[in-house]
Amino acid sequence: MRSDSRLERILTSGRFALTGELGPPRGADADAVRKKARLLAGMVDAVNITDNQTAVVRMSSLGACLIAIQEGLEPVYQMVCRDRNRIAMQSDILGAAALGVQNILCLSGDHQCFGDHPGSKKVFDLDSMQLIDMVRTMRDQARFQGGADITVAPKLFIGAAANPFAEPHAFRVVRLAKKIAAGADFIQTQCVYNMERFESWLAQARDMGLTDKVYILAGVTPLKSLGMARYMQKNVPGMDVPEKLIQRLKGVEKKDQAREGIAICCEQIQQLREMKGLAGIHLMAIEWEHRVPEIVEQAGLLPRPAPEPEQA
């Protein structure tokens, strides 16, 4: 085991994992985090805590991670390269590990022009690939990026993102391989709506032997409405929402679209579970945490494995 992460134990034991997502609030509102955390507790194996997603300022991922831990959840600490240089990142990584964070997801981060501080200065001292490499070096070699020794290495289970649908398509598995070589232990993908294209990407990863080297969790986001589906299709970069899903939501009354969206989501999870080489699901119910229990139940993902005591 590379870490004390429960997510790592579940994946290593070959069980189908389920991670969720929790977006911190736009204020110093611990209760908002607790409320969301309680909805997710027992429903998922670990919860990604986003890091100022879409470049909109929110409570820090680390702060919300700690509240999640207090609520009995295992957080996946998301860290983006947009806002901090390698000094701040390494410092936060040590702090997070010291406070009980076991998993980290290394991301580039959405450009600040999408958020509410478009005049801020971007950092990108490292990119996501270099961040993965840095965390791995910190953990496995107890060495800072600058070369000095670390007294107590941060034992983190290292995650990375992958978008199977982005261009250039032929390069996507190559980039996945690069992230694995840099040190990624698990992968969470962009939201999957186009099953055929996802399966073909996964097949390529399998053929290259990548699914033996890394745990891949397929990203799934329930569509709350026709409007959301259209928005995802047209406005979210790197997203592939097939027209047939739009038509299916269009075919039901507006008040029933949420239910239909959940039905679609559960069918997708079933389909994904059948795919060889897939290690789990990453369920991103964006500002819809209260619907997670029914989705997880309807998708047949309950009960979740009980938290095990750490092996001595």
Give me Rg for the CA atoms of the chain.
Answer: 19
d(CA 209, CA 181): 12
Size of the site for other proteins (CB under 8 A): 35
d(CA 246, CA 241): 8
Q: Which stretch binds other proteins (CB under 8 A): 42-50, 60-68, 147-155, 173-181?
A: 173-181
Among residues 129, 214, 216, 272, the one that binds other proteins under rule CB under 8 A? 129
For other proteins, the binding residue among 103, 190, 257, 268 (CB under 8 A) is: 190
Is 185 a binder of other proteins (CB under 8 A)?
no
Segment 216-275, which members bind other proteins (CB under 8 A)?
237-238
Residue 134 touches other proteins, criterion: CB under 8 A: yes
135 touches other proteins (CB under 8 A): no
What is the distance between the alpha carbons of residues 141 and 153, in angstroms, rounded to a whole number? 8
Listed as own residue / partner, the contacts of 285-292 with beta carbons closer than 8 Å and 24 or more positions apart are 285/20, 285/21, 285/221, 285/222, 286/21, 286/23, 286/221, 287/23, 288/222, 288/224, 289/20, 289/22, 289/36, 289/39, 289/40, 290/39, 291/222, 291/258, 291/262, 292/20, 292/39, 292/40, 292/43, 292/44
Quick one: 97 or 132, whose CB is closer to other proteins? Answer: 132
Q: Which stretch binds other proteins (CB under 8 A): 94-102, 118-126, 148-156, 275-283?
A: 118-126
Q: Could you say which of 30, 56, 69, 166 contacts other proteins (CB under 8 A)?
A: 166
- Report how far Cα 152 is from the mean position of its chain's Cα atoms: 26
User: Exactly one of 177, 195, 208, 263 binds other proteins (CB under 8 A); which one?
Assistant: 177
CB nearer other proteins, residue 32 or residue 81: 81
Which residue, 100 or 237, is less far from other proteins as judged by CB?
237
